[in-house]
Amino acid sequence: MVAGAVRIRLRHYVLGTLLGMTPGTLAMTVFSNQIEVALENPERINYWIVAGVIAVLVTLTFAARRWMLKQEA
């Protein structure tokens, strides 16, 4: 209701929600399995998956920042 009351555009609301929920969703889906494996057997950690997820998150962060700065101009 607050988003409607302050007249936030739908696409900005959806994009903000998506960007805000993505890190937590990825952490729960990808890292929860990795954490379980690490707790059971620390030698079986797949560092490539961890590095890939971090790279994707950093790329998305920079892309979102660039898009937001472009929208302000």
3: helix, strand or coil: helix
Rounded to whole angstroms, the Cα distance separating 34 from 47 reads 9
| Cα–Cα distance measured from residue 24 to residue 30, given in angstroms and rounded to the nearest whole number | 10
pLDDT value of residue 27: 78
Among 12, 33, 25, 35, residue whose Cα is nearest residue 57: 25
Give 19-62 pLDDT, tens digit per residue.
889 888 887 887 777 777 777 887 777 788 778 878 988 998 89
The answer to whether 26 and 53 are in contact (CB under 8 A) is yes
